[in-house]
Structure 1
Amino acid sequence: MKLLHTTLGPMRADELGMILPHEHVFVDLRTPDKPGYAEADPADVVRLMAPQIEALKARGVTAIVECSTGGVGLRVDIDLAVSKATGFPIVVPTGNYREPWIPHWVREASEAELAERFYRDLAVGVGDTGVKAAWIKISAGDDGITPLEEAILRAAARAAGRTGAVIGSHTIKGRVVMDQLDIIEAEGYRADRFISIHSQAETDFGLNLAVAERGAWIEYDHVGREPDDEVAALILRALDAGKAKQMLISHDLGWYDPAQPAGGTPRPYTHLSDVTLPLLRTRGVDEEVIRQLTVINPFEAFAR
């Protein structure tokens, strides 16, 4: 049976509904060597972010995927605190971001050591939180994969191969995604267990299709951040190309930022429910496809 591992434990598909596959509760975009990096009192994060979660619950959203990974402030203890305070499942990753957001221990670790760390986070739990990571979040440079980023990717593929976890990557260029898929397959893992995060940033739609033809998920996570007509047009274009079962849509919004006074001002996770889905309906997208995009696909992508 497929299960989605969350802060509230493993969950079946029939226990969940709409899932947002790319959001953030807590992010620190400073590099890990900066003073105060990723430091915050969980209670302060709860105060700021719980109202955002409650707004989601009111719209029928049943879970979100936390996309803050190692190097950009992964704090599973904070995700757990927010989750418990709201009674809302959050799906957390293991992994690490790209250069220069790579902490010293990752730079010093071997591929085997990284793979074992990622595997433990997936199979046992992240740190002492008791929360199993559901997936592996990585990244790659805009102009190509550096040797260190490739080592992280190879380690991720090995850990994912032992668990069935999906690997998601913040990758801007489609040709770099294709290189990542080559590396994953060379490690014996599968392209269909890869999410091309920020697919909308690749302006050549043909490369979006090429990635999907390899079997990977394409993710359009700019809802509420770009003009609504442009977002809808891209989603419709992918639907017309037959990619309804390989597409994820989300906001890439939130969040508590420890670099800002009192965590800054979060941006709501509600635009998809309030604006984008109604817009898609007016443009002929039926409820079966809406459910595919917002309920079935996120579960299938992140469950294992």
Structure 2
Amino acid sequence: MAVLHTTLGPLAEQDCGLVLPHEHLVVDFRTPDEQPADALDVEEVVATMAPALADAGAAGVTVLVECTPPGLGRRADVLAAVSRAAGVPVVFATGVYREPWVPGWVYDASDTDLEEFMTRELTGGVDGTGVPAGFIKVSAGDDGLRPVEERVLRAAARAAVRTGALVGSHTADGRVVLQQIAVAAAEGLPPGRFLSIHTQLTADAGLRQAVVDAGAWIEYDHVGQGDDAAALRLVLDSLEAGHEDRLLVSHDAGWYDPALPGGGPRRPFTTLTGTFLPALREAGVPQQTVDVLTRRNPFRAFAR
């Protein structure tokens, strides 16, 4: 039986309602060598972020996928503490982000070491929490895959094949995404287990279509970022193009930034439920399709 691996235990499809597939609770954009070991005050992060997560739960969110990978200040113990305080299940990411946020140890690791690292986090738990990672997060710049990023992607694909996990990539240019899909497929990963994150940044509709035609997932994760009318139009256009069974929608919201006083400014996790989904329905999208986008598709993508 397929399940989502979360901080509050494995969840079957019948246990899940609306899932937010791309959010953050904590992100540190300083490079790994600049991130102090004591960057986070756990009590402060919980006091700051648990109410925002609880608000999402009260609005109908049943699972939040936390997309911060190693290299961007991921702290599984802190994420688990926020989740427990809010009573909302959270999915962890394993993987490695792009340069210059690649941790130093990755450069010295063998390809097998990288694969085993991700596999361990997907099966045995992350950083002593006992909570397995729910998916693999990678990235690449728009100028193409750099050598270390390609090594990480190949290792991610192999770990995903072993575990059934999804590989999601923060990559804005659809041409690079198509290259990533091809590289991952060469390692045995079915394109249906690859997610193009931030697909709204791929301005060329033909490239977005090519990613869908390849069999991968696409994600528009900019709800609540300033122009929801444009975001709504993009979702409607994608539905018209036949992307219903390949599309995810989220905010890319949050988050606590330990480099900023008080964690910096934050955006809520409730715009989707509060205004965006009602706008979709008002535009004529049936509730059944809304449920596919927000319930069935995220579970199918992230469950294993």
User: For the superposition of Structure 1 and Structure 2, which TM-score range results when normalised by the shorter chain?
Assistant: over 0.9
With over 3 angstroms needed to count, the CA separation of the structure-2 counterparts of 1:162 and 1:299, relative to structure 1, is same
- Counterpart CA distance in 1 for 2:37 and 2:49 is 19
Maintained 8 Å contact 2:195/2:216: yes
With over 3 angstroms needed to count, the CA separation of the structure-2 counterparts of 1:64 and 1:239, relative to structure 1, is same
2:145 aligns with 145
Structure 1 residue 209: Cα displacement: 0.8
Structure 1 residue 275: Cα displacement: 1.3
Alignment-mate amino acid for residue 70 of structure 1: P
Structure 1 residue 255: Cα displacement: 0.6
2:5 aligns with 5
Deviations 1:111-142 (A, max 9, x none): 11000000000011112111100100000111
1:117 aligns with 117
1:281 aligns with 281
2:131 aligns with 131
Structure 1 residue 219: Cα displacement: 0.2
Alignment-mate amino acid for residue 158 of structure 1: R
1:105 aligns with 2:105: yes
Maintained 8 Å contact 1:27/1:257: yes
> Which piece of structure 1 moves more, 31-40 or 115-124?
31-40
Alignment of 1:13-52 (within 5 A): 13-36=13-36, 39-52=39-52
2:172 aligns with 172
Deviation >6 Å, runs of 4+: none
2:62 aligns with 62
Deviations 1:179-225 (A, max 9, x none): 00110110011111000000000100111110011110000000011
3-state DSSP of counterpart to 2:64: strand
Maintained 8 Å contact 1:76/1:92: yes
Maintained 8 Å contact 1:38/1:73: no
Count of aligned pairs between the two proteins: 304
2:225 aligns with 225
Deviations 1:233-272 (A, max 9, x none): 1000110011111000000010111001121232101111
Deviations 1:141-160 (A, max 9, x none): 11100010000000000100
Maintained 8 Å contact 2:28/2:35: no
Deviations 1:31-89 (A, max 9, x none): 00115267202211110001101111111110100000011111111110011112210
- Counterpart CA distance in 1 for 2:129 and 2:151 is 26
Maintained 8 Å contact 1:37/1:258: no
Consecutive unaligned residues of structure 1, counting only runs of 5 or more, are: none
3-state DSSP of counterpart to 1:148: helix
Maintained 8 Å contact 2:200/2:222: yes
Deviations 1:259-295 (A, max 9, x none): 0112123210111111111111111101000000001
> Which piece of structure 1 moves more, 114-123 or 255-264?
255-264
Maintained 8 Å contact 1:193/1:216: yes
Maintained 8 Å contact 2:198/2:220: yes
3-state DSSP of counterpart to 2:196: strand
Consecutive unaligned residues of structure 2, counting only runs of 5 or more, are: none
1:191 aligns with 191
1:256 aligns with 256
- Counterpart CA distance in 2 for 1:37 and 1:281 is 46
The TM-score, its normalising length taken from structure 2, stands at 0.98
Maintained 8 Å contact 2:54/2:86: yes
3-state DSSP of counterpart to 1:85: helix
Identity of aligned residues (%): 53
1:271 aligns with 271
Alignment-mate amino acid for residue 296 of structure 1: R
